[in-house]
Amino acid sequence: MEKGDVFPAFRLRDKDGMEFDSSMLEGIRYVIYFYPRDGTAGCLKEAVEFSAAYPKFMMRNIPIIGVSKDSVESHKRFHEKNGLKIALLSDPEHDLIERAGAWGLKKFMGKESMGTIRSTFIVGKDGRVEAAWKGVKVDGHVEKVLETALSLVKNER
């Protein structure tokens, strides 16, 4: 996914096992980010920072959605243990992760494997990608996303 692409429609389960259908987001700008695994250091830091910034995003009606291939049960534990405020969706077959271009070859400690590439997208009210970050480094990332989101809101006035 690149800026200007139509973000794919999706239906995934949230941390409570409820179906989350992207059609509920029609006409709403939102942030959707893809991360490798619940509970790992980088993923925890990213989720906690997005949760801390959540009120600033929601003041502009911009929900934040995290997606990984972890199970609904894993998301529930991760969410509750860390007091997260963001929505977490389970994509165990990594269908949306792949369609969003957030799945690919990764290297870790000299080993190569296929997995989720940390990526974030701001999707506009028209369903098109307004901003995209791939291969995200967690430090300072949430601030960049918030700054970009606020700029987009300001420019539409």
Active site amino acids:
43
Contact 133, 142 (CB under 8 A): no
Cβ-based neighbour number of residue 70 at 10 Å: 25
Got the DSSP string for 34-60?
Answer: E-S-TTSHHHHHHHHHHHHHHHHHHTT
d(CA 144, CA 157): 21
